[in-house]
Structure 1
Amino acid sequence: MKAKYAFAVDSALAIKTWPPNMEKLSHRPAAGIIGKKVDKIFPLLQGKIELVFNDGKKRRITDFRNTCLMGTDLSSDVYINPVKDKKGKVGEVHVEFDNVTGECPLGRRLSDSERMIAIGKVASSLAHGVRNPLNAIKGAVVYLRERYGHEATLLEFSTIINDEINKLDRFISNFLSAAKGETKFVQVNLEDVLRSIITMIKPRAEIQNIDIRQDLRVLPPVSGDPFQIEQALFNIINNAMEAMPKGGAINIKTSLKWEKDSDYASIEISDTGKGIPEKALSRLGELSRKPEKNDRGFGVFLSREIIKSHNGKLLWESIRGKGTTFKIFLPVNSMGPISPGGK
Structure 2
Amino acid sequence: MKMQKIVWNYRRKTMYRVLVVDDEPSICKALEMGLSPGDFEVDVSTDGNGGILLGSQRPYDILIADLCLPDMDGLDVIREIKRISPEIIPIVITGNGSMESSIEAIHLEVSDYLEKPLNMESVKSAITRGIENRAMQRKTMRKKLQQMLEIYKEKFSDLSGVEANTRNTRSDQLSETIPMFVHQINNPLMSIVGSAELGMLKLSDTGAIKQYFAGIIEAVEKINTINKKIIKLQHPSEENIERLDIGDIINDCLNMFKDLMTLKEIPLEKDQRSLDLPVFGNKFGLEQLFNNLILNAIDSMDGMPEKRLKIWTEVDENASMISVYIEDTGCGIPKQAMDKIFTPYFTSKKHGTGLGLSVVKGIVERHTGKIHVESEAGKGTRFKVNLPAINSQRSYQRQDMR
- Higher relative contact order (Cα pairs below 8 Å, separated by 6+ residues): 1
Between structures 1 and 2, the one with greater strand share: 1
Between structures 1 and 2, the one with greater helix share: 2
Over alpha carbons, which structure has the higher Rg?
2
